[in-house]
Amino acid sequence: MDEAAQQSRLLSGFAKTIAQAKERAAQTSHETKIEAINFNFFYGSFQALRNISIRIPSNQVTAIIGPSGCGKSTFLRAINRMHDRTPGARGEGQLMLDGVNIYGDLDPVKLRRRVGMVFQRPNPFVKSIYDNVAYGLRVQGIRDRRILDEKVETALRRAALWDEVKDRLHKASGTALSGGQQQRLCIARAIAVEPEVILMDEPCSALDPIATMKIEDLIHELSASFTIVIVTHNMQQAMRVSDMTAFMLMDRETRAGELIEFGPTDEIFTNPKDKRTEDYVTGRFG
Amino acid sequence: MSLKSSVSPNYARRKAVDLIMRGLVLIATGLAIVPLVLIIGYVMIIGGSALNWEFFTDIYQPPMTVSMPNTGPIDPNDPFANLDLGALVGSEPATGQAGAGDEKGADILEAPPRGGVLHGIVGTMLITTVALLIAMPIGIMAGIFLSEFPDNSVATTVRFACDVLSGAPSIIVGVTAYILIVNAKGPDGQPLGFTGIAGSIALTFLMVPTITRTTEEVLKLVPEATREAALAMGATTWYSTFTVVVPTALSGIVTGIMLAFARGAGETAPLIMTVLGSNVLMTNLLEPMAALPLITYRYTESPFPSENTLAWGSAFVLMMLVLLVNILVRIATRNRLRMR
């Protein structure tokens, strides 16, 4: 009698686990690339992120949206440990790249070779266009001129910049380009080393609409070969470029950023489960 | 009531104050450049007139109207070898003044300038270049440390020490170098004595703080985003510093080095205490050497007008030398990339 009850309880628990797994598999048809489980982030004693749990799928574009100060940039920069230079900044809990904890066993230099980044403001080096794109390759110790030439050209073509700069690769400084071209140069620089993940921190916020459109087209094309995580203020942009969307919000009392909702982009924007997500995406605040 | 006065009733007063302030600033700026114009102008007019081909190709020659009998080869190890004692005796002030008709004295006082400052040019270039070669790596590395690792007790101490040292009177630096190097006992138990290298080291004391602080300041101007971009590419801190941060700030660092060079080339007090000076061409840094500021210093107070001219010419050459090196280095290190 007792045994039978226990067994049925176990069975129902088992069925539940399977159902959950199925549901999760349906949610993310792609393999998980980056996974956070109860990830917390602190600047000194201030907690900037609380209990972030998210599975970012491979070879898709994941957008992180939310109002200012909600911690979306903090989370993005935590993925390639850009906070290491900030005194007192530390991550706790699990944040994993292919199942390996980023804040544990991964060396930041090796991590950043796998996780590239494009910043809010275009930040090309005061070097020639060629040297800008070849920088990451040279960091990895590639000195062979033919390999460099080939990879630089490939990267610039993929970033849709080749035709605009091919005749001044060695003559013009990366800073001599227009803002939109500079940002595409930064993207070329990031993809030249063929990372697995590209993080983009509001890559279009300093650009005009036409340059923005070009970058967005580029993000579409690149998502076939890279896992892209993009932070954006612009909800229309998130709708246009992303497959998955995460909505983050700052807790009013503790001022810590929390993940409110994560799901396929069309669901977040058309049928959000959380009232706060709905309020945000319909423009009631933010 | 006009529209203007209704908008701002004190418009006329504000305009007047603006005009007065602008005038005051203009006057102050004018006063500030007066000494500069005076110094450069005076040196150019008096020193420039001393220049001729011989001035750059010859070493010091005592004031004479007639050529000296050849007394044989000059001993290159004797810094006073061709200091002409005969001429000095002939020009004793008592003789020169009391006996205005004295032929010899009058001759020497009216002797035309002759000889040159080749020994000084060579000495200054050698001493300053060696000093710069020592000071550059130390100063640049220390500057990188201060800028890239700014918040620790070592950095604070170094920064403070640099500020104190760059304000220290140069004679104190000279005395320190004298005690530490010139007066130090060598392996044979004798003092090391006056040497060119001692002068270089003394100048290093003055150059390092300048290079360190300017390097630190210009590296701080490199945007944080540039460093982050390099780090995000998987570069280590030192790799990003040497491939991105330093090249970005290169022209500023060069400015610091040139400032240090100009200061070192013009210093007199530390050289008096360390290289002593010489009237012959010396290229051995382990011997006393000549230097342009020392020539200026010694012969400005000379009773012979021809030697005074030499001092002015030497000052002019020093100025031009610093300017020339500055221009050459800027051409050599300028960024060849199109920036527009």
Residue A34 · residue A229 · CB < 8 Å: yes
Rounded Cα gap, residues A259 and A247, in angstroms? 6
Does the CB of B235 have a partner CB in chain A at under 8 Å? yes
B240: Cβ–Cβ under 8 A, 6 or more apart, which residues? Answer: B227, B230, B231
Q: Tell whether the model's pLDDT for residue A209 goes beyond 70.
A: yes
Q: Answer yes or no: do B338 and A82 touch at CB < 8 A.
A: no
Whole-number pLDDT of residue A87: 86
Residue B252 · residue B221 · CB < 8 Å: yes
- State the residue for tokens 């971009």: B229
Three-class DSSP category at B8: coil
The pTM score is: 0.78
Distances (CA, A) of B186 to A10, B180, B191, B201: 91, 11, 6, 17
- Which pair of tokens denotes residue B60? 């010091």
Amino acid at A209: P
- Which pair of tokens denotes residue B75? 């001993």
pLDDT in tens, A100-117: 899 887 888 889 999 999
Rounded Cα gap, residues A243 and A223, in angstroms? 10
Over the range A115-147, which residues count as b (16 or more CB within 10 Å of their CB) and which as e?
Answer: bbbbbbbbbbbbbbbbbbbbbbbbbeeeeeeee
Dihedrals phi, psi of A44, to nearest 5 degrees: 65, -120
Answer CATH for B118-333 from 1.10.3720.10, 3.30.465.10, 3.40.1440.10, 3.40.50.300: 1.10.3720.10
Nearest residue to B77 via CA among B293, B307, B289:
B289
Whole-number pLDDT of residue B4: 54
Residue B212 · residue B146 · CB < 8 Å: yes
Q: Answer yes or no: do A139 and B228 touch at CB < 8 A.
A: no
Question: What length does chain A have?
Answer: 286
Closest chain B C-alpha to A247 CA, distance in angstroms: 25
Does the CB of A43 have a partner CB in chain B at under 8 Å? no
Whole-number pLDDT of residue B339: 67
Closest chain A C-alpha to B326 CA, distance in angstroms: 23
Whole-number pLDDT of residue B76: 58
Q: Answer yes or no: do A193 and B244 touch at CB < 8 A.
A: no
Q: Tell whether the model's pLDDT for residue A29 goes beyond 70.
A: no
Residue A140 · residue A113 · CB < 8 Å: yes
- Which pair of tokens denotes residue A218? 């580029």
Question: How wide is the angle at C-alpha A200 spanned by C-alphas A196 and A204, nearest 5°?
Answer: 145
Q: Answer yes or no: do A109 and B235 touch at CB < 8 A.
A: yes
For residue A138, list chain B residues with Cβ-Cβ distance below 8 A.
243
Whole-number pLDDT of residue B78: 62
Whole-number pLDDT of residue B104: 52
**pLDDT tens track, chain B, 340 positions:** 555 556 677 888 999 999 999 999 999 999 999 998 998 899 989 888 888 888 888 888 887 755 455 555 555 566 565 555 555 544 444 444 444 444 455 566 777 788 889 999 999 999 999 999 999 999 999 999 999 888 889 999 999 999 999 888 999 999 999 999 999 888 888 888 899 999 999 999 999 999 999 999 999 999 999 999 999 998 998 999 999 999 999 989 998 999 899 889 989 999 999 998 888 888 888 999 999 999 999 998 888 888 888 899 999 999 999 889 888 888 888 877 766 5
Residue of B nearest to A141 (CA): B235
Enter the ipTM.
0.82
- State the residue for tokens 């081909």: B53
Indicate if the alpha-carbon torsion angle A84, A86, A87, A88 is positive or negative. Answer: negative
Phi-psi region of A108 (alpha: psi -120 to 50; beta: other; left: phi over 0): alpha
Q: Answer yes or no: do B339 and A110 touch at CB < 8 A.
A: no
Indicate if the alpha-carbon torsion angle B10, B11, B15, B16 is positive or negative. Answer: negative
Domains with residue ranges and CATH for chain A: 30-235+255-281 (3.40.50.300)
pLDDT in tens, A6-17: 888 877 777 777
Closest chain A C-alpha to B218 CA, distance in angstroms: 15
Q: Tell whether the model's pLDDT for residue A19 goes beyond 80.
A: no
Q: Answer yes or no: do A121 and B225 touch at CB < 8 A.
A: yes
Q: Sheet containing A115-118: give its strands across.
A: A100-101, A89-97, A32-43, A46-57, A257-264, A244-250, A61-65, A227-231, A197-201, A115-118
* Residue-range domain boundaries for chain B: 1-32, 118-333
> From the candidates A76, A83, A126, A181, which should be mutated to test the interface with B, based on the most B CB atoms within 10 A?
A126
Residue B208 · residue B133 · CB < 8 Å: no
For residue A143, list chain B residues with Cβ-Cβ distance below 8 A.
none
